[in-house]
Structure 1
Amino acid sequence: MTSADGLFARAVDVMPGGNTRTTVFVAPHPPYARRGEGPYVIDSTGHRTIDCNNNYTALIHGHADREILQAATAAAAQGTAFGLPTGYEVEMAEVLRARTGLQQWRFCNSGTEAVMMMVRGARAHTGRDLIVRFDGSYHGTYDGVVSAQAAGVPGGVARDVLVLPQNDIDAFGDAMARYGHRVAAVLLDLMPNRAGLTPVSGDFVAAARRLASDCGALLTIDEVITFRLGVGGLHHQYGVTPDLVSLGKVIGGGYPVGAVGGRAEVLKSFSPLDDGSVAWGGTFSANPVTMAAGMAALRRFDACEVAELNARGDELRRRLSATGLAVNGRGSLLRLLVEDVQRTWWRLYEAGVLAGTNGLLALSTAMSDGDIEQIEQGVVRACAGR
């Protein structure tokens, strides 16, 4: 067994900061995972935690789920990836259409790439350049959806992106009245994690649908994180139909995945059967292993499972709130609102709860009632500083 400090000393010699993902860094350095078992993660020192991070919401059935592994292994035994399409991606598209009602789909390898594809498709379909997005929402690491002041982002990116305050219908309406003729897409997250998992108001979502349509723009909804909250995603619960939606996380069964779905008329921009189509490749996009694992995960996560996991999350949120803690979210996604997030993260970890580095808690179907009780106790103890 290698200690976390030993791994970190090796890591900083070959990787800047000692890892590849900024989102998992916590000072002085994060622990290093050794293995996962159902709802648990064991680190390189042998410390075991209940995993409420679940790779930032992706592992809906926890770690090393037997059925998912069997599906992935069976697919891999026939070939892990091809320079040809396969029946797996056809079947996955059919599964997603049945769940969402959205007509057509394309696949990629991450949520970030799905947003990139969605934005490209919107611009190709409308012939416009401007993207409207909302302050506090995270849509991955693509230049066009991060802060214009972020290191390495070209200054010219800001010309084609308009950032507005979330839930401010008047500011949104004024902006669309002024710039709507230039807008290709309104990019919306219905419950943005970076903004504290505060759900967007129903009135704001209705305004987004109306204003986008009135201006000839597309309403594009980022459900990379929130898709787990309903069989067809969170947008179903708002009663809104997007022109395009981006997915990731849970639809991959623990493997790299991204997807864009929407109206056939819009996705036609990607069709190689039509002149002037958007060219979009991806060596491992829609690979059989991911598609097989994802379908196994989604078929298990049916309406009953979704409702049960959401009820567990709502009850945990209610019990934590009853102790005086500030907790946002909906269903199986919770967000602890604390002043010192880093200190709280370490206290949670020591108490046996692995959270996101921003206070995110994502439940999985692998958790027992006893696990949920331990999560509650660990969170209360950590947030009380005991």
Structure 2
Amino acid sequence: MLNTVYIHHFRCLQNFKLSLKDQHSVLLLGRNGAGKSSFFDALEVLQQIGRGVTQLKDLIKVSDFAFGETYKPISLEINATLGNQVYEYVLEIELPENFSQPRVRQESFKVNGRTNYQRECGKTQLGRNAEFTLDWHHVGLPLISTRNDDEPIARFREWLANILVLSPVPSGFDAASKDETAYLSRNANNTLDWVRHQLAVYPALYTDIADFMQLRMPDFGSFKFVTTGRDEKELVFKFNDPAGKSLELNFQQLSDCEKIYFLTATVLAAITNEESVLCLWDEPDNYVSLPELSHFITACRKAFENSKVASQVIMSSHNARTINEFSEHNTFLVSRQSHLHPSRLEVVSEKEYLSATFIDAYENGELD
């Protein structure tokens, strides 16, 4: 479970700290350009490290250094509780003058306050005795060998890797699955590959997915993967009406909203597995019809709030109906005075306004 994340000198984020305080669902509210996407991008850097990306040039661009000040290091710090252990990971990245690509300035990993791994530039220490050198253009966390998946570094890497950073574009979803994958891409184009993997590992998820679809689409009957080629499978849905008639449609024949429902159904089913999942969803209200929106957001929040493995969701939105489904204590306002100023993060419950509701205050510009 994510406790805090601190981001400094990454794009418009300076001294930017989000503390969730045991909250399972959070809304980031802010106008375009306020810094919400930059926050998601920073978490995606950590996610990619968990997935094994080591070269900094594949993680950080020159333009990621805030306001063109490449002489100031980027800092990414994350604190999470998994089981009964608290994990702290810190990564500082610099781009010295005359260097063509960024390098690691500092990196450390702690478990329950005890240093497990630390490095400065290339000099690295693992535990008390092991010392070695790493190429300082590579992040060290993915490179540390572990004997089994229960070791702290392995467990933390897996948690990072399973972070869901989502900005789905249903029109770009693949029409068929050609493989199975454990990781869902940000635009969710590989939804069918990911769903196949989830069902292969956890077959019991089928019932949870079907139940969610039934609530959103009353004529939904069932779904199945059908082999259409050597390595290709198509997802087929069956719909029924009270008169006993039925109709089969493949995934591509669904509307954008229906595709989002199916993706959401699988995400909400997946967070019931053994490990905590952190999900960041950029504007989940896109593609969902207004009459359905309130029920949709409520269902998402309820699933994460009731997660037995402490899964969490961080959403961003401009939609008043979405804002209305969150309370002031778990809504954070991201604001920015201009392109020359860094983003600010404030809890809405601590803001003062004259309007009757904080939605009115937001629309009237009082919260900025």
TM-score range, shorter chain: under 0.3
TM-score scaled by length of structure 2: 0.25
Considering fraction of residues, name the structure with more strand.
2
Considering fraction of residues, name the structure with more helix.
1
Rg larger for = 2
TM-score scaled by length of structure 1: 0.24
Q: Which of 1 and 2 has higher RCO (CA within 8 Å, sep 6+)?
A: 1
